[in-house]
Structure 1
Amino acid sequence: MAEKRRQQTLQTYFTKRLRQNEDDMSTCIPASVPAAVSPISTCCPATDKDKEIDMPTSSIPANPKSTCYPATADIGVITPSPSCMQAPPTQSQKSTTNRDLEEGLMLVNQLFPACTGTIHSYYSCRKSDCTTLGKEESERLSTKTDRFKHEWLFMRSSFADKQNLWWLVYIEGQGMYCLVCKKHFQRNSYNKSEKFVSEPSVRLKRSAVTSHANANVHTRSLEAETQQRRGSVIQKELEKKQSSHFNAVLKAFTTAYFLGREHIANRKFVPFLKLVEHLGLDDITYFEHRSQGSIRDVFMTIGDTIQDKICSDIRRSQGFGVLIDDVTDAAAMEQMITFAQYLNCGKPQIAYIGIRDVLESHESANAQALLDTFLQLLQDKNLKVEDVKGLCSDGASVMLGRKNGFAAKLKSQPGCDQMISVHCVCHRLALACCDTSANLGELKAVEDTLVHLWKWMEYSPQRTAAFLKAQLTLKGVAAPATTSAEKTVCRKLKKACHTRWLSFDAAVKAVFEDYWAILQTLSAFEKCAVATGLLKKMRNTHFLGTVMLLRNVLPHLAGLSKVFQANILNFSRIQPQIQYVKDRIQSLCDENVACEELEKELNPEDGRLRHTGIKFAEKDGERLKKLSTCYITALQRNIDARFQDSVGVISSFAIFDPSAVPSKD
Structure 2
Amino acid sequence: MHQKHLKAVEASKESAYMKTARESATTKSESAVTSALKNVYFAAKQNMASSAVPALNALCISQGVTQLCDLRVDSRTTYEHNESVTEFQEAISDVLRLDLSTKIQNSGKFSLMLDESTDISVYQNLIIYIRLLERDCFGTVSPQTYFLAINRLERANSESIYLKTIELLGKKGIKISELCGVSTDGVSVMTGHKSGVVTRFKKTVPGVLATHCIAHRLALSCCSSADNIPYLVKFQEILNSVYKYFKNSPKNMATLSAIQTVLQGQTVRFKEVFHTRWLSFEGSVDALVKNYSSLLSVFLEESSGKALSLYKPISTYKFLYVAHFLCDALKPLAILSKMYQKKDLTYSEISPLLSSTIGTLEDLRDNRSGHMLGNFLKVTPQEPKLDEAGLCTFEFEGHTIRDSQKQRTESHSVCSQFVDGMVKNLNSRFSDNSDGAVLTSMSNVFDPLLKVCDASGDLDTVSEYLDTIGFEGSRSELTSFANFARASHNNGNKSVTDITSVANLAIKNKDSFPASAEVAERLLVLPVSTADCERGFSKQNIIKTSLRNGLSESNLDNLMTISIDGPEMSKFDFKSAFKMWSSKKTRRILQ
What TM-score bracket applies, with the shorter chain setting the length?
0.5 to 0.7
Rounded Cα–Cα distance in structure 1 between residues aligned with 2:173 and 2:310: 57
Q: How many angstroms apart in 2 are the aligned matches of 1:544 and 1:597?
A: 12
Describe the shift of the 1:285–1:439 C-alpha distance in structure 2 as closer, same or farther (beyond 3 A). Answer: same
Q: Does 1:381 align with 2:268?
A: no
Distance in 2 of aligned mates of 1:331 and 1:499: 23
One-letter amino acid of the counterpart of residue 493, structure 1: F
Q: Hey, what does 1:519 align to over in structure 2?
A: 296
Determine the structure 1 residue equivalent to 2:568.
none
- Give the percent of matched residue pairs that are identical in Structure 1 and Structure 2: 24
Q: Which residue of 2 aligns with 1:506?
A: 283
Match of 1:285 in 2: 69
Query: Which residue identity lines up with residue 504 of structure 1 in the other structure?
Result: F
Tell me the secondary structure at the aligned position of residue 395 of structure 1: coil
Q: Secondary structure at the match of 2:121?
A: coil
Indicate the residue corresponding to 1:661 in structure 2.
504
> Any idea what SS the aligned residue of 2:226 has?
helix
Structure 1 residue 391: Cα displacement: 0.3
Which residue among 108, 112, 116 is the counterpart of 1:326? 116
Sort the Cα spacing of 1:649 and 1:640 in 2 relative to 1 into closer, same or farther, 3 A. Answer: farther
Provide the residue aligned with 1:147 in structure 2.
none
Equivalent in the alignment of 2:147: 352
In structure 1, distance between residues paired with 2:42 and 2:168: 28
| RMSD between superposed Cα atoms in Å | 3.5
Higher helix fraction (1 or 2): 2
Q: Could you tell me which residue of structure 2 aligns to residue 420 of structure 1?
A: 209
State the match for 1:630 in structure 2: 417
What secondary structure is seen at the aligned counterpart in 2 of 1:614?
Answer: strand
Paired residue for 1:168? none
Matched with 1:609 is 396
> Following superposition, which runs of at least 4 residues in structure 1 exceed 6 angstroms of deviation?
236-241
Structure 2 distance, partners of 1:596, 1:502, is: 22
Corresponding residue to 1:402 among 193, 213, 221: 193
Alpha-carbon distance between aligned partners in 1 of 2:502 and 2:64, rounded to the nearest angstrom:
46
Higher relative contact order (CA 8 A, sep 6+): 2
Equivalent residue for 1:183?
A: none
The corresponding residue for 1:545 is: 321
Deviations 1:183-213 (A, max 9, x none): xxxxxxxxxxxxxxxxxxxxxxxxxxxxxxx
What does the per-residue CA deviation read over 1:532-559, in whole Å, with 9 as the maximum and x for residues that have no partner?
Answer: 4333333323332221121011111111
In the superposition, the TM-score normalised over structure 1's length comes to 0.57
SS of aligned partner of 1:496 = coil
TM-score, with structure 2 as normaliser: 0.64
Asked if the contact 2:318–2:408 (Cα under 8 Å) also holds between the matched residues in 1, the reply is no
Using the TM superposition, name which of 268-277 and 635-644 deviates more.
Answer: 268-277
Gaps of 5+ in 2: 72-77, 136-140, 388-393, 447-498, 509-591
The correspondence for 1:577, drawn from 335, 353, 368, is 353
Q: Distance in 2 between matches of 1:296 and 1:458?
A: 40
* Alpha-carbon offset, residue 257 of structure 1: 2.0
Q: Which amino acid counterpart does residue 337 of structure 1 have in structure 2?
A: I
Segments of structure 1 that go 5 or more residues without pairing to the other structure are 1-113, 128-178, 180-231, 477-488
Deviations 1:26-74 (A, max 9, x none): xxxxxxxxxxxxxxxxxxxxxxxxxxxxxxxxxxxxxxxxxxxxxxxxx
For residue 412 of structure 1, give the secondary structure of its aligned residue in structure 2: helix
Aligned pairs for 1:200-599 (under 5 A) are 243-261=27-45, 268-287=52-71, 288-345=78-135, 346-359=141-154, 362=155, 365-413=156-204, 416-475=205-264, 490-527=267-304, 530-593=306-369, 596-599=374-377
Matching of residues 153-232 of structure 1 within 5 Å: none
Cα distance, 1:612 vs. partner?
2.3
Residues 400/598 of structure 1: CA separation in 2 closer, same or farther (3 Å cut): same
| 1:503-540 deviation line (CA, Å, top 9, x unaligned) | 3212211111111222223344444x544433333332
Mapping for residues 88-99 of structure 1, pairs under 5 Å: none
Residue identity opposite 2:130 in structure 1:
A
Distance in 2 of aligned mates of 1:309 and 1:557: 38
1: CA distance between counterparts of 2:173 and 2:244? 47
In the alignment, residue 623 of structure 1 is paired with which amino acid?
E
Deviations 1:542-582 (A, max 9, x none): 33222112101111111112222222324323212211111
Quick check: 1:324–1:393 contact (8 Å CA) kept in 2? yes
2:535 counterpart residue number: none
1:119 aligns with 2:29: no
- Specify the alignment match of 1:186 in structure 2: none
Question: How many positions carry a matched residue from both structures?
Answer: 422
